[in-house]
Structure 1
Amino acid sequence: MTPMYPVPGRQRRVFVPRPAQSVPPPQDPPIYRDLMRAWADRGRTLPGRHDPEWVALAAPTVLTGEFSDLPAPPRDGR
């Protein structure tokens, strides 16, 4: 059983380094920037960008009454 009170003795220290503020984020090579620009011009989905179509497709389907006390309608269409 796990004790619900602090245990005396040696405690662990967690080292969390400070974020580097003087180091700029790495840039993509020009060939990738050009490719992403071409994809964006054609309306394609880009890595790391919000895609509303994917969000709609990946959203869970919730049926009426599935998460409430109301009776769910019959699934056979009657």
Structure 2
Amino acid sequence: MTTPTHSTTGRQRRVLVPPPAEAVAPAPPRLPDPPIYRDLMRTWADRGRTLPGRQDPEWTRLAAPWRGPDPLSGSPGPRGGGR
């Protein structure tokens, strides 16, 4: 919903005014997944695949900010660059 407003120059602007909270319809109730989808999700989970709507630990690790070298890994070469 927009409401017209007037400025001192005579131009007309439109200002977005959100509808009242009670005017927004509630989301419809979620129906359970059909059995074929539950079976498919179970099969994917058993094979270690990423599932819709669930966090993927590998993606979380890969997308995390870099924190420097891994303290448990060995150094890539001798100190001082003497390769």
TM-score (norm 1): 0.49
What TM-score does the superposition give when structure 2 sets the normalisation length? 0.47
Higher percent of residues as helix: 2
Which structure would you say has the larger Rg?
A: 2
Higher strand residue share = 2
